[in-house]
């Protein structure tokens, strides 16, 4: 098992423990936060929102279940360019950056790994978390675009 997959699984376990112990003092639990950005607009701010510890654990678990693939360059057209997720790990002082786009998940921490997501499960799941944060028409448009890619 690769080091990145092991780190993803470890992070998922920590986050699951955090989610299961909700209500305990924040000073006794590791504070892992994740921020999502829908990379879509040019000239105006992109929609952003936070994921709970439980949602972050779900995301990390989904990524860790994917197969690693060859490194690749993702295009950056106008319009929808995927989801960017930043997972901060204050205890280790590091951060992981994830881009989900075109059925590929790019995971950057100390090194960059690529995972094949042919069913776009990560993109679809992130779109679902965006629903309360974006306009309904934009949501419907993205749902169609992700399904057609």
53, β-bridge pairs: none
95-104 pLDDT, tens per residue? 899 999 999 9
Residue in the block written with tokens 């690769």: 2
**Number of domains composing the chain:** 1
14-65 pLDDT, tens per residue? 444 434 433 322 222 344 779 999 999 999 999 999 999 999 989 999 999 9
pLDDT for 33 equals 73
Instruction: Report percent pLDDT > 90 for the chain.
Output: 62
pLDDT for 94 equals 77
Beta-carbon contacts of 113 under 8 Å, excluding residues fewer than 6 positions away, are: 2, 4, 68, 106, 107
Domain that holds residue 57: 3-148
């Amino acid at each position: 098992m690769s080091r990145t997959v092991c780190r993803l699984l470890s992070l998922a376990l920590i986050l699951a423990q955090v989610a299961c112990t909700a209500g305990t003092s924040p000073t006794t639990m590791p504070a892992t936060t994740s921020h999502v950005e829908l990379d879509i607009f040019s000239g105006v701010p992109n929609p952003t929102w936070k994921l709970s510890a439980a949602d972050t654990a779900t995301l990390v678990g989904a990524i860790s279940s994917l197969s690693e693939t060859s490194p690749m360059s993702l295009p950056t057209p106008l319009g929808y360019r995927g989801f960017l997720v930043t997972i901060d790990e204050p205890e280790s002082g590091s951060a992981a950056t994830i881009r989900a786009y075109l059925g590929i998940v790019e995971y950057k921490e100390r090194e960059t790994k690529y995972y094949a997501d042919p069913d776009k499960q990560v993109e679809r799941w992130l779109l679902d978390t965006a629903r309360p944060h974006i306009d309904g028409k934009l949501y419907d448009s993205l749902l169609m675009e992700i399904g057609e890619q």
